[in-house]
Amino acid sequence: MRKEPIVFHVADIHYRDADYDEIKKCVDFLVKKVQNVNPDLIIISGDIFDRQDIKIDSKSARAVISQLKQMSLTAPIAIIIGTPSHDGTSAKIMRHIHAKHTIWVSDKPEQLYLYGHKLTSICKANAIPDITISQLPTPTKKIIDISDGIAASNEKLIKTIDLQMNKFKTKANVANAKWHILNGHFSIAGAKISPTQLLIGNDIEISHEQLISSGADIIMLGHIHYHQKIYGNIFYSGSIYRKTFGELDNKGFYMHKFTKTGIVSTFYKTPARMLLKYDFNFTRKNSKLEPTEFNQEILSTVDKNIKNAWIKITIEVYQDEARAIDILEIHDILTYDRKANKATINIIRKPRINIRAEKILKLTMFEDKIRELANMRDEEIQSGVIKKARMLESFTEDKILEHVLKEFN
* 351-402 pLDDT, tens digit each: 876 656 666 666 667 677 777 777 765 677 776 777 777 776 666 666 666 6
Determine the pLDDT at residue 191. 87
Decide: helix, strand or coil at residue 243: coil
Burial letters 139-160, b for 16+ CB under 10 A, else e? bbbebbeebbeeeeeeeebbeb
Distance separating alpha carbons of residues 314 and 323, to the nearest angstrom: 15
Determine the pLDDT at residue 98. 79
Determine the pLDDT at residue 83. 83
| 349 within 8 A of 329, measured Cβ to Cβ | no
* Mean pLDDT value across the chain: 85
Among 87, 71, 86, 81, smallest CA distance to 8 is for: 71
Among 99, 199, 210, smallest CA distance to 162 is for: 210
Determine the pLDDT at residue 199. 47
β 275-281/310-318 pair status: parallel
Q: Which residues pair with 312 in a beta bridge?
A: 277, 344
Tell me the Cα Rg of the chain: 30
| 160 within 8 A of 199, measured Cβ to Cβ | no
Determine the pLDDT at residue 161. 87
Low-confidence ranges of the chain (pLDDT < 70): 53, 87-92, 140-154, 194-204, 286, 353-364, 366, 376-378, 383, 392-409
Distance separating alpha carbons of residues 315 and 171, to the nearest angstrom: 59
pLDDT in tens, 122-143: 999 889 999 999 999 987 655 5
Distance separating alpha carbons of residues 12 and 142, to the nearest angstrom: 22
Residues of the chain with CATH 3.60.21.10: 6-269
Burial letters 340-370, b for 16+ CB under 10 A, else e? beebebeeeebeeeeeeeeeeeeeeeebebb
- CATH superfamily to which 6-269 belongs: Metallo-dependent phosphatases (3.60.21.10)
| 64 within 8 A of 38, measured Cβ to Cβ | no
Determine the pLDDT at residue 153. 57
Distance separating alpha carbons of residues 266 and 7, to the nearest angstrom: 11
Determine the pLDDT at residue 344. 95
| 128 within 8 A of 176, measured Cβ to Cβ | yes
Determine the pLDDT at residue 220. 98
Distance separating alpha carbons of residues 275 and 311, to the nearest angstrom: 6
Alpha helices in 252-396 (DSSP H): 294-301, 327-332, 352-362, 366-377, 385-394
Determine the pLDDT at residue 378. 61
Distance separating alpha carbons of residues 71 and 44, to the nearest angstrom: 12
Q: Which residues pair with 293 in a beta bridge?
A: none
